[in-house]
Amino acid sequence: MPLLVMKFGGTSVATLDRIRRAAKRVGVEVAKGYDVIVIVSAMSGKTNELVGWVKETSPLFDAREYDAVVSSGEQVTAGLMALTLQEMDVPARSWQGWQVPVQTTSAHSAARIEDIQTENINGKFAEGMRVAVVAGFQGVSPEGRITTLGRGGSDTTAVAFAAAFGAERCDIYTDVDGVYTTDPRISSKARKLDRIAFEEMLELASLGAKVLQTRSVELAMRYKVKLRVLSSFDEQTDTSGTLVCDEEEIMESNVVAGVAYSRDEAKMTLISVADRPGIAAAIFGPLSESGVNVDMIVQNISEDGRTDMTFSLPTDQVARAEKAMEDAKTSGSINYHDLVTDTDVAKVSVVGIGMRSHTGVAAKMFAALNAEGINIKVITTSEIKVSVLIDRKYMELAVQALHDAFELEKVA
Amino acid sequence: MPLLVMKFGGTSVATLDRIRRAAKRVGVEVAKGYDVIVIVSAMSGKTNELVGWVKETSPLFDAREYDAVVSSGEQVTAGLMALTLQEMDVPARSWQGWQVPVQTTSAHSAARIEDIQTENINGKFAEGMRVAVVAGFQGVSPEGRITTLGRGGSDTTAVAFAAAFGAERCDIYTDVDGVYTTDPRISSKARKLDRIAFEEMLELASLGAKVLQTRSVELAMRYKVKLRVLSSFDEQTDTSGTLVCDEEEIMESNVVAGVAYSRDEAKMTLISVADRPGIAAAIFGPLSESGVNVDMIVQNISEDGRTDMTFSLPTDQVARAEKAMEDAKTSGSINYHDLVTDTDVAKVSVVGIGMRSHTGVAAKMFAALNAEGINIKVITTSEIKVSVLIDRKYMELAVQALHDAFELEKVA
């Protein structure tokens, strides 16, 4: 029988009523003739409660015990979902990570899936089971201990199952009804996309459109798993939600798929750094070791053997970055005249695979921002993305202006 | 190193603070040089919440899914207890039933332990681990699914581990400080027993002194596991609590160890039943099939081929028993003139292994009750127990009178 993977996030299984609603969605697919693997998250709020207990007990906790405690949330939802399906006369049973088994690395609380054994579950499908309910976010280490994949890991579980079992599609049920051209709270003209390419989704996800976990999109792209994002709170049709798929499956599309933003950005500039071979490593090595996630990097033209180095980073990592730079200066590994920090910036990006074959996207973007009098502080470009750092107070205005300039409210 | 098993019930691990207090008790034993296996229950209230969700989802639930959901409570406590011990620099880790593994039958939600593998845990002790924290109440079936042992099963887990690992003692930490000669709420003269024989504890437990689960006492008796019941809320010394042990280890003891009672008793009498071979089976067969737990049975002397049959049962099973008897009469399998039900009775018992070698206990009991004007409705005796059914309104008076008559406030 054809197989679907359906994943329900925490808000979609937050109460027994919502579990029942989700189970009905599963029942619809079973009635169509699909065998279904359901991946469930913990009931909304549960994981936070469990994590809170662990951290209160042991601030520098043993991640193996953290995983044992925190994985219990998905275990409960899986059992309750299986019971709900059984009440609807759908043959179902629950599986925990170690029962499948989902083999992972031993990197507790941030493990990676290494292998999913399909024999046990496929055996039960062959015996007439129609739905395997699997606890998301968890697996088992080579040492036989429970592991978790890190927050949001249930998306990754879902995609990995879809790849391992050769599912026709992986439906991710969440509290939004799809991927939009931009945040509808910022532009009322934002339009739901019917389809988006994996690469575009990756850029949008890592830029802060928190619909899908980045790793799950990477995995889907590698194994060509068709991902559909849709709302568990709306009535569904076959064209509901947004399909995240290979670009070849997208016939017509705008050059730009969407406008993304990130509010919590800061900009740091090292003024007058000695410009010598290895200077970039001397700056960004210590930052990386301090756990600072540097995003954009711009180096000015060198004058008299000295240059300015500018980079962006999350606002809450500024103090750590400043300390790392001062320590590096004290130790003599780098030398600079001044360190200037600007915590009032935001990043705005336009993303689209069409940019590969169309020129002029960056120019159009700069013109649109200029027309609104918005000054650009830093620019970076990739094959399918142009990002700019601007004053935070202009962020909403910039997003609206770019959405209008690229006419994203219209279907191509 | 010598080994202890320490079990903490739900009220002893109800909050992170109480888990910390329990961990301190464990630390004391580790400091004395013991390796310790800690068995934990779910945090107080947790199991009820999970059971509630299961029953709301599916009134006639699949017991395999029930077990998957309900066992998560102990899993959480085990992880938190291990983390707490680690914070105290005690090398500890958690184990779930399937990780030990604790092999059980497939009788989900009422499974029996078949085998406990000691290799994994002993291997960790050999590597320097001092405390293995094991989730109580759970195991794994031959099919690889999580099983639970039924309510109160953590006591049984503790005794089974003590037997399997040859522990020096099994300490059961609970919210009472030991076993008393009778309920202190009924007689202010009730005295904590330093020691009690397994057989006596079994009679007291099954009569409603809910300190230890009956199965755990049976198991301790079979494997000669020394059980100590003590409070997790008091400061402890080596003579705290009550030791439940082999009668040979009790040097001096009263003839009667304690007075037990059970409030929720009912009495039913079938008036004028045809007294023929097989009549007992014809009455008690249908009752058993209806799930009625008959306790005491008395048959009057037969007159003219007819007799009266009286039996006691829990009050909440009266309706079921009446229906079973009426159905049996309708079907013609039994015949009686009348069915008389008395739901206002209570059972009071005196228990003691000393009764084996001392005569006159029953006579003394009846005299004491008679002196208070209490009428006895039904009497049953066993080797170490005499029980009577009386009007419920006299129950407290009877317990006090018997406690006085056998001078249980005094140590032998």
CB of A361 within 8 A of CB of A355?
yes
Using an 8 Å CB-CB cutoff, list chain A residues near B13.
none
| Consecutive H or E run containing A86 | helix A72-87
pLDDT at A373: 94
pLDDT at A152: 66
DSSP A42: P
Which among A390, A3, A380 has a CA at the least distance from the CA of A161?
A3
List B242's β-bridge partners, or say none: B229
* Rounded average pLDDT over A138-157: 91
Task: Give CA–CA dist A373/A369, Å, rounded.
Answer: 6
Domain with CATH 3.40.1160.10 in chain B: 3-175
pLDDT at B254: 80
Task: Give CA–CA dist A208/A214, Å, rounded.
Answer: 10
Residue located via tokens 């180096």: A299
User: Which residues does chain B have with pLDDT short of 70?
Assistant: 151-152, 206-210, 238, 252, 412
- A209-236 residue pLDDT tens: 567 888 899 999 999 999 999 988 777 7
Question: Which residue in chain B has the smallest CA separation from A70?
Answer: B76
Mutation target to probe the B interface, by most B beta carbons within 10 A, among A15, A21, A67, A72 is A72
Confidence of residue A207 (pLDDT cuts 50, 70, 90): low
pLDDT at B209: 58
pLDDT at B208: 58
pLDDT at A181: 92
Task: Give CA–CA dist B382/B45, Å, rounded.
Answer: 38
Contact check, Cβ <8 Å, B72/A68: no
Tell whether A175 is in a known binding site.
Answer: yes
Contact check, Cβ <8 Å, B80/A53: yes
* Rounded average pLDDT over A9-30: 95
Contact check, Cβ <8 Å, B64/A99: no
Contact check, Cβ <8 Å, B53/A82: no
Among chain B, residues having any CB pair with chain A shorter than 8 Å are 16, 19, 50, 53-54, 56-58, 61-62, 64-66, 68-69, 72, 75-76, 78-80, 82-84, 86-87, 93-94, 96, 98-99, 144-146
Contact check, Cβ <8 Å, A54/B86: no
Task: Give CA–CA dist A310/A118, Å, rounded.
Answer: 49
Q: Residue A338 is encoded by which pair of tokens?
A: 């001044």
Task: Give CA–CA dist B182/B350, Å, rounded.
Answer: 10
pLDDT at A328: 93
Contact check, Cβ <8 Å, A62/B144: no
pLDDT at residue A43 tops 80 = yes
> Would you say domain B259-405 falls under CATH 3.10.270.10?
no
Residue located via tokens 């205005």: A397
Task: Give CA–CA dist A254/A256, Å, rounded.
Answer: 5
pLDDT at B151: 64
Rounded to two decimals, the ipTM of the complex is: 0.81
- B171-183 residue pLDDT tens: 999 888 889 999 8
Mutation target to probe the A interface, by most A beta carbons within 10 A, among B38, B51, B80, B141 is B80
pLDDT at A411: 82
Contact check, Cβ <8 Å, B65/A94: yes
Cα four-point dihedral sign A394, A400, A402, A404:
negative
pLDDT at A103: 97
Confidence of residue A315 (pLDDT cuts 50, 70, 90): very high
Share above pLDDT 90 across residues of chain A, in percent, rounded to a whole number:
73
Collapsed DSSP state (helix, strand, coil) of residue B378: strand
Contact check, Cβ <8 Å, B57/A98: no
Tell whether A185 is in a known binding site.
Answer: yes
Out of A16, A78, A82, the one facing B56 most closely (by C-beta) is A16
DSSP A337: S
Which among B86, B83, B114, B90 has a CA at the least distance from the CA of B100?
B114
pLDDT at residue A239 tops 80 = no
pLDDT at A205: 72
CB pairs under 8 A between A and B: 101
Out of B61, B72, B79, the one facing A76 most closely (by C-beta) is B72
The pTM of this model reads 0.83
Using an 8 Å CB-CB cutoff, list chain A residues near B87.
57-58
Query: How near does any CA of chain A get to the CA of B15, in Å?
Result: 10
| CA A367 vs CA A255, A364, A370, A392, B407: distances in Å | 17, 5, 5, 19, 101
Q: Residue A407 is encoded by which pair of tokens?
A: 């006419």
Cα four-point dihedral sign A150, B43, B34, B96:
negative
From A31-40, A397-406, B80-89, B375-384, the region with the lowest mean pLDDT: B375-384
Tell whether A9 is in a known binding site.
Answer: yes
Domain with CATH 3.30.2130.10 in chain A: 259-405
Query: How near does any CA of chain A get to the CA of B88, in Å?
Result: 10
* Rounded average pLDDT over A12-36: 96
- A107-122 residue pLDDT tens: 999 999 999 999 999 9
Tell whether B47 is in a known binding site.
Answer: yes
Confidence of residue A203 (pLDDT cuts 50, 70, 90): confident
Annotation: CATH topology of A3-175: Carbamate kinase (3.40.1160)
| CA A22 vs CA A11, A40, A90, A289: distances in Å | 11, 10, 13, 43
pLDDT at B207: 63
